[in-house]
Each structure stands twice: as C-alpha cells, then as structure tokens.
Chain A
C-alpha cells in the first residue's frame, strides 16, 4: 500500500523534473500528463476517487489538450521543432513512467476487494451535499469566474489583423 504511494510519488517528481528541464514544449507536455496521472493515482490512494477521476479528465484531458492546441497554433515558432517531436526517443521516457503507473493500477485491480483504502460512497455524497450546501457561494463565484474566462479567451484568442493595430 505505502509502496504504491512512494512509487507514484517518485514518478510524479521525476516527470515534473523533466517538465521544467525539457526544451521541447510537446515533450514537456507529455511529461506533465504523466505527472498528472501519477498525482491522480495518489489522490485515489488518499481516498479521493472523484478527485482522481477529475484530475485525469479535466487536467490531463481538457487543460493539457488546450496547451497542445496552443503549441500547434504558435505555428512558425514551433514548426522547425516539428521534426524532432516525431522522433521515437521523445515518448520513450514518458512511456516508461506511464508503464510503471499502469503496473500499479493493474496491481490495485488484481487485489480487488482487498483494497487497503476505504472507498466510501457516503464521502462522495458528502462532497456533493457540502458543495451545494455551505459552499454554494463558492460555486456561484466559480461560475462568475468561468464566464469572464470564456469571454476573455474568446476576445484574446482572435488573431489581430495588421491594419487594426
């Protein structure tokens, strides 16, 4: 149980180190995705299953995809690096780290019912109830934050033509 945690923690730290030291944006992003997945595993081990799922879906999925899009959109700045991105060496490192995590997940699935952690449904229910109960103002604030985010992104994302500058 604890060993699973330490392995995942090691994967996280290693991947994060590679993120901040790598020179290619896409490679760094790949490592960041691995770090996020490892973190999700840690969340799971801590008993926060819902958070773990969201970490993968929203962070690892949505937010990282946004980053990838932007890296692609940057076009001329990124195009000369295009060739190096396609080399197999680029994804070997993240692949190995991801395999380690896969092994952990496989082990967790294998031991099945004998999970040493408490998977409690009532706790997840408690999260939802608290979210729309005492934290409702936070939810409202979050929605107020997201709307300007949406509008801001729409406004900033337009390509400004040379004449209008």
Chain B
C-alpha cells in the first residue's frame, strides 16, 4: 500500500485541474463533491500509506519514491521524488485530515458565494502544494511547494478581489513572505554550490561531515533558511502580514493561516535539523525569536476588536512556542505542539467562522455577546478550542503539548532561565486572551441577533476537531501523569531526542508543570475577573478604553506596520517618484537614440529578397576573409 504515496499529492492536484478547467460547467453540488472528494480521497490514501508504513516501521525508517527526473544536467539531478518518514507522515496526515474537514466545512460556509468553484480550485491547489512541500525529497521540490503555498495564500487572501483593501492585504502577504523566500532561495544556492547536492538527506550528511560545529557557512545557510521560515511562519520581524491575511474567507484562515502553511517554517527547520545542529548560535536566535514573537503577539491579541485578528495574533503566538521549542532542540515537542495546535486552532477558526456566518459577517467582538444559548454547538466547540489553546490541565491536548515545550525549555542545555520565565508569562497571556474572546462573544447580553446554528456540513468538522483537540494530547503524557511516550518514540526515528540538563528528574518536572498549570489557570481566572460581564472591571474595558496610546500601539501590532512603512515603503516611493523624472529622461534619450539608429538601419530593409540574399553572401564572404587573414 505504501507505493500509493504518489497519489496523495496528485489527487488534490487533479481536483484543482478539473475545477480550474471545467469549474464553470458543474453545479455547486458537483463542485463541492469534487473539491472535498479529492482531498478526502487523499486523506484515505494517507491512511492506507500510513498503514503500509507502520507495517515495517521501526525496521524501515523511511520510504523513498522517485517518479521521474525533473532536472537532469551535468552536475545536478533533481527528481520528482517523495520521501516519507515519521516526520513527513505526521505532516501529511495533518494536512489531508484537517484539510478534508475544512473543505467539508467550506462546502456549506461558501455556499452563497459566486466564486464557489474558484474557491475549491484554489483550496485543492493549496493542499497539493503543501503536500509537495512536506513530501519533497530534495530542497528544490520543497521550494516548489513552498512557493506554491505562497501563491495559493495570495490567491485566497485576495479571494474577494473586488474589495481593494483585500487585494492590498494579499499583496502585503505575498511581498513580505517573498522577502523570506528570497533568503531561502539564496540559502539553497549557497548550499548547492558548497555541497553539490540538493537531496535533503544527502545534504545533511555531507554538511555534517564537511562543516564543523559553529562554522561560518553553516551559520550563514541556517540564518538564510531561518529568514525563509520566519517569513512563512509569521514570526518577528516578518510577522506583519498575518493579521491582514484574515481578509480571506474564514476556512482559508483555518487551513492556510492556522493549521498548515504557517507551520511550514517549523517543518523546514525540523526537516533540516542536522544543519541547525551545526549552528548553535542560530538555534539560540530561533529561541529568542520564538519567545519575542509569542509575547508580543499575545499582547496584541489582548486588545484586538476583530475576532479573526485575535485568532491571527494567537496563531503567531502559538507558532512562537514551536519556534521556541525548535530553538532549544526539542524537535519532537515542537512537532507535538504543531499537531495539537493544528487541531485546536483550526477548530477555533471554524467556530469563529460559524459565529461570523450566523451574524451576517459581523467580526467585531464588541458587537457580539450572549451567543451561548443561541449557538450551543459553536459555543461548546469554541470553548474546547480556547481551553486547549490556553492549556486547561489534564483534559485538553494543548496542556500536554505546551507543557512539554515548557519542560524542554526548563531542562534543555541550550536554554536559559529567563526564556522559561518569558514562556511562562506567555501561558498566562494565552489564557487571558483566549477567554477574553469567550466572555465577550458568548456571554453577556445579545448585541447582534444571530440567525441560528449552521448546518451539518459545518457542524461535523467542529465536533471532530473538538474531539481531537481534547484527546490528541494523550499520545504523550508526562512522567507524573502516566508517562506515555507514543509520540516522542514515533518521532525519535526521524528527529533526535533532546538531552536533559543534569539533575532533571521526575520531581523537578512535576514541580515545573505545576507552575505552568497554575499560570495558565491564573490567566483564565484573570480573564474572568476582567472580562466576564457583571464583574467589576468588565465595564471599564469597553470601546472607550481603546483611545489610550498604549492600547493603540498594541492594536497595531506594536507599530511594526508603521515602522516598515516609514523605513521601507515611503522612502522607496519617494525614491521612485521625485528623481524619477531625471532617470526617465535618461531612458528617453536612449529611446530617441535607438529610434534614430533604427531609422538608418531601416533603410537597408528594402523588401527585396535578393537584396537580403546578397547582403548575407557579402557578409559571409567578409567573415571568411576575416578568418583567412
């Protein structure tokens, strides 16, 4: 069954081609069947392939399938080849599984939209590109998928292209991620010129042999890769595009800007972890970037008005946790948080979409409230998602994954104490902003009258994702709570396990975890204190309080947008506008000169064939004479 691997990316691609070429001829129902069916079949194939993979798993750690040679010249052979190991299987399972649920959800969510088949075509293309990214055996194919998901992100953010600001948001996302992509490409060039190979596994073993730990080349390459990952995963300093990317339809935000594409950076770093192991300094930078992003984004999430922007900032913050884990060498913990985060964040976005759907596209949380009784399904699933995100102990998956990360930060030799304290503050903030949403949207008086619960196609994904958001954490339990190591054992075949600092035993782990739990619960309690309608402070945190400069700063994402506008965008426009005329004049001279030269030359174009033949003969004779001399 494992040789069906090639089908997994091909199925969504086929769906895309069919919908893109003949989308106009199908009815809406047929479009939905094709769009969901292709991804559903990919998910089914993934299950088959996964079964085949596990049959011989610990003995055979990876499966390699080459379809054909893509580029084959002297010195470089790049194949369309897939590489399946524990890491990529995990990614593929998440992409196809959650992707299918989100497609199912969109079948109803988008049902009133004009661009129904266009939407599903883009979504299928995205799934195909993302699968290419994670299954690629070599870095060039990975880059193809990388650019493919960037393109789909652009297309889907600007899906409602008639609104100019949505188009601007799409361009912003595209251009900002392009900065990272360019750095990534330069990294690839350097890697290729140094090691003469692009196969991921080969490159890493070659690099480990050729470069000592801490060598300059390794640092340069990994920094360039890191910039690419930072751009894609919306980390500091390239994070400004993600909040604006919420202009796209909500299922898009769930699939691309929460569950899959934004975690591509995490995947890239985990995939090339041998390279990063050669550059300890860069790893430390990753940890610091992760920590800074998670704190800044969490602060911004606290004061947003738009429900989707809150979730966007929370995504940045949670990916910050993954980066933090990567930075301290806890590869498996990062991937575990990726898994749980995909479940609960997709759930949160879908539930938010359900809220928005029933409120006629109202996204401002200050105009929501009291939806608990009107939308019970949405409320309970949203509550589960928020609980998982803030790490409510024992019952939610987010607790186990975040706990693991914090424990790794505490116990890793690559980490520092202050990083752990920062991350701890992050858990408090997470609880605060998650439950601020809950209390604002679902409690209090009704401000906008909802139309009612969504249909079955939207409810099923919510329930399934809620189930996973609760239970998927049980794959990995800490020592104090049963010591299940299914996940870390599984990933240890693809990623190295982390060393612990001396003196780290089960007791210190339990103590550390208790602190984290208390901090998360404190955040939730604080949220209830501040935002629960009827409490003393709730009345103060209303619309009027947003005029304060500190709040405005946070709402704008710490002013990064304004900073970039001042530093890059405006000087650039200035540069192109004013002295533009002088430069234009130079080009005009060029044009005039070319035109007059062309005037002379055109006299030789007599239109007589024999004249042309004669000039060819004369020219040839002159050349021959030149060579004879």
A–B direct contact (CB < 8 Å): no
Q: A residues within 8 Å of B by Cβ?
A: none
